[in-house]
Structure 1
Amino acid sequence: MEWTEWFDAEGYEIARQVLQRGIAAIFVIAFLSTAAQFPALLGENGLLPVKQFLRNPYARRQPTIFRWRYSDRMLRGVCVAGAAVAASIVLGIPQLAPSWVPMVLFLLLWGAYLSIVNVGQTFYSFGWESLLLEAGFTVAFLGSADVAPPLTVLLLTRWLVFRLEFGAGLIKLRGDTAWRDLTALTYHHETQPMPNPLSRQAHLLPRWFHKLEVLGNHFAQLVVPFFLFAPQPVATVAAAIIIATQAWLVVTGNFAWLNVITIVLAFSAVGDPAGLVVDYAPTPLWWLVIVLAVSALLAVLGWWPLRNLFSRHQLMNASFNRWHLVNAYGAFGTITRRRYEIVIEGTTARNPKEGDWVEYGFRGKPGDTRRRSRQFAPYHLRLDWLMWFLALGSREERWFIALLGKLLMADVPTLRLLGTDPFGGERPRAVRARRYLYRFTTRQQRRETGDWWTREEAGMLVPPIALGDDESRRAPE
């Protein structure tokens, strides 16, 4: 018996390939989406400029390469370099080198994206940012093709999936009664942050089917995760159930890369098919020492999220350290019963009447009732997501007032974040924001009108404002 036999997880080569290449592919998306959106949202002239944020003592304590200097050019350089490194891992090139090569590259990806998340403020406050960081750090120690995958790293990856799924299941049971009476998904397909092309069809399915969905969700999140640690083939079956439930969420919603990364991580429990035999070289002592030291560190850091799982005041999507390692996860502990949307309108009229106001269109969130929702995930439209939270009554409004100011100036980078600019790049005289109640059309309404949504006004959020106005000086209605 080889002295490292207990350490080597033979029979998991496909799992390693999926984990390394899959997480790297998500890093490519994350870096490219950051390059496209970050400057307008958080850059030198963004809605919440990083330079202003870094004056805060809290911000200066965060690990980020931008602590000493930030520029949009530097940010784009980091993103391009990160996407290029991640793409090389997707192609499998570093995996042909010694194990320290993919380790170093994954740690560079983790460090670069950590630097972005730690200055991203509310636009980077989503749970899947921490999830990508933790996943990237963990799979950095899976090694190369010359040695067997380390068992401890595969187990830590399954522990990550366990926290992700079981934590989400517990937060639902502890939260909204709709999860306990099985009615949650009679609302959620319609009220989720960003519906996709099939969300309406899912919403219109029979109530009994929605109840089965909720039961299936509870089973997949509260029971199945325990079997990820069972012997094969039970662990593979458990992973397959998680993958199937996440695939249904991909089909019916736009949750950025949350579902895709969960599918990738679940492969940590999928064993190689019978007959696949890979010859590995003996595991070097230096690699064994590194992996065991990191595994011990992650095991120790796991105490805080473990305690959180069984806390009466369970935290959702919480990081217990500045490095976003071994976090608490969970989503949609509360289900909204009604869908509200913020509609931004502008006018070029000097003394506008109601018919003079025209609507700005967003890329992903509902607006025009005749427009069918599109598929964007795993790409993350950060502004559209924040607009959903704003419609729920979020108190974080500073970025939104800044957004209205940018629209008044016809700021080109800001307009590129939107789907349509009704003024073709020209400045409007005034803008305003109204709140609407949205509902999916019934099948009959769809046949009669061609609309995907119905909407009714639910009040003014921001009365008309013009350039030069402050909050006490409004443009005439």
Structure 2
Amino acid sequence: MEWFTAPELWMGRTVFQRGLAVLYCVAFLSAALQFRALIGERGMLPVPAFLRRTTPRRSPSLFHWRYSDRLFATVAWSGAALAAALAAGAGDAVPLPVAMAAWLVLWGLYLSIVNVGQTWYAFGWESLLLETGFLAVFLGNDDVAPPLLVLLLLRWLLFRVEFGAGLIKIRGDACWRKLTCLYHHHETQPMPGPLSWFFHRLPRPLHRVEAAANHVVQLGVPFLLFTPQPVASVAAGLMIATQLWLVLSGNFAWLNWLTIVLAASALDLSALTGDHPRPDPPLWYVVPVLAVTALVLVRSHRPVRNLLSRNQAMNRSYDPFHLVNTYGAFGTVGRVRDEIVVEGTRDETPGPDTAWLAYGFKGKPDDPHRWPRQYAPWHLRLDWLLWFVALSPSYGAPWFDGFVRRLLANDRDLLRLLRHNPFPDAPPTYVRCRLYRYRFTTWRELRDTHDCWHRTYLRDLTPPTRLRTPPASSPAS
């Protein structure tokens, strides 16, 4: 069955599987350590309330059977443990059916989390992880040579990720066509990294080169994935290099790393590793591979129509299992950066002389003196959603009031998501949220003040608010 396998890509498969398992582990750990304040029984958007509004058909999840915070934690920690085992090579140490079952369990567990995660899990890279994880079920292990059809499906997924992102940029914002978006993007992106200040301060001609290179890699190179080797490997290598550039310039959870892992599956490393012959795959394995290939091809018609549409959607799933989705990023680029600064006080009657103390967040900018940190591939969900609320308060409509109430109660689950709580001994009397305009400092300002940010007060997003009724929360002991 030479037509069915691509033995020269066995190392690419290994790198892909180990890398995907690591990212699964990060995703499950992120869920385990953040869920209680976000979607737990006493969270801002509780899963039990959501389950009463939906059905298993609309949102498949094992939590329809039963939900408790303890069960959710069990699912998340079990997923992390299984993913860690696969990252360590357990998938190649067990028979092929067991390895396939392990990947299927990972996919099912994470699907169960995403489908009850609501707005906290409404990110394109959640669907990307699920679609990639579903295809990984059929990629086999060291018992068989890599199936060519599944490898081509992974390239088709990578094509949609890159080409979709390239198209939506060209269609969505004139600055991409003028090659000027990167004059702003490094400063206004959702969560800058430790090198973002330096990227922003690059000469503008280099920003134009960055934008032009991005268009080449996203709009032209993806077609080369379907050409013979070594051209396909060169195309994958260019995508990996571009994604590493994005990793250095910002924090986008596991989006860039998952794209790198997908590109690794297209690399022909046989010149370095030598031949790795494997026996012909059994018929029981060939049949489901053919079936999933047909399924993906049939379900690809809607993503293709979206790619061809002038009204292209950026990130969308077309079925509750997140099997074949559409992707895109930064169809528009902000020209200015607004940030929410959250403050509290213990004064009983706030006035002009009130001392307000600021809460500190892990990823989003707050203290102008604090340099951005590197968090990706970790996903700071609260920080990301607060960035969206700064763009438009409507993004926080379902949960923002609960966020403020929990600060007023010193909710321990919420406080674990913050970097700094200025009220460790007793909760504040009032909390307010203010909107500031942030920009990166200039070279001279950095030299004089050592601040990487300069900020200007715009307005109060919420007035001083105090706790009138006890929240459904877990107060600090």
Provide the TM-score with structure 2 as the length reference.
0.96
2:346 alignment counterpart: 348
Pairs within 5 Å for 1:54-453 = 54-57=51-54, 61-274=58-271, 276-354=274-352, 355-396=354-395, 397-453=397-453
Mapped to 2, the partners of 1:252 and 1:368 lie a distance apart of 20
1:282 partner amino acid: D
Structure 2 distance, partners of 1:58, 1:356, is: 48
Which sections of structure 2, spanning at least 5 residues, go unmatched? Answer: 471-477
Q: Secondary structure at the match of 1:112?
A: helix
CA RMSD of aligned residues (A): 1.2
Once the 2 structures are TM-superposed, how far is the Cα of residue 58 of structure 1 from its aligned partner?
5.5
CA distance in structure 1 between the aligned counterparts of 2:331 and 2:310, rounded to whole angstroms: 14
Distance across 2 between alignment mates of 1:218 and 1:297? 31
Do the aligned partners of 1:60 and 1:67 also contact (CA within 8 Å) in 2? no
- Secondary structure of the structure 2 residue equivalent to 1:460: strand
Q: Partner letter of residue 315 of structure 1?
A: A
SS for the counterpart of 2:184 is helix
Question: What is the percent sequence identity of the aligned residues?
Answer: 55
- Relative to structure 1, is the Cα distance of residues 461 and 194 closer, same or farther in structure 2, using a 3 angstrom cutoff? same
Structure 1 distance, partners of 2:350, 2:114, is 42
User: Which amino acid in structure 1 is aligned with residue 112 of structure 2?
Assistant: S
User: CA, structure 1 residues 203+433, in 2 after alignment: closer, same or farther (shift >3 Å)?
Assistant: same
Q: Is the 8 A contact 1:346 1:430 kept in 2?
A: yes
Q: Distance in 2 between matches of 1:75 and 1:469?
A: 28
- CA drift of 1:59 comes to 7.0
Please give the per-residue CA displacement for 1:392-429, whole angstroms capped at 9, x wherever unaligned.
Answer: 01413231110000000011111111110011141100
> How far apart are 1:211 and its partner, in Å?
0.4
Task: Find the residue that maps to 1:47 and give its secondary structure.
Answer: coil
1: distance between equivalents of 2:185 and 2:351? 37
Structure 1 window deviating more from structure 2 (142-151 vs 354-363): it is 354-363
Size of the alignment, in residue pairs?
467
Output the CA distance in 2 between the equivalents of 1:213 and 1:420: 36
Match of 1:474 in 2: none
Say which SS state the counterpart of residue 223 (structure 1) adopts: helix
Assess if the C-alpha contact under 8 Å between 1:103 and 1:140 holds in 2: yes
Change over 3 Å in CA distance of 1:166–1:358 after alignment to 2:
same
Contact kept? 1:59, 1:119, Cα under 8 Å: no
Q: Report if the CA contact (8 A) 1:96-1:146 is conserved.
A: no
- String of CA shifts for 1:153-202, please: whole Å, max 9, x gaps: 00000000000000000000110111111110110000000001000000
* Counterpart among 16, 19, 29 of residue 19 in structure 1: 16
CA distance in structure 2 between the partners assigned to 1:60 and 1:424 by the alignment: 44
CA distance in 1, matches of 2:281, 2:141: 11
Provide the secondary structure at the position in 2 that maps to 1:123: helix
Aligned partner of residue 447 in structure 2, secondary structure: helix
Distance 1:61 1:288 in 2: 31
Q: Is the 8 A contact 1:430 1:467 kept in 2?
A: yes
Give the Cα separation in 2 of the matches to 1:41 and 1:127.
19
Cα offset, 1:291, TM superposition: 1.0
Question: C-alpha offsets along residues 10-45 of structure 1, whole Å, 9 cap, x if unaligned?
Answer: 200111101111111100000001000011111011
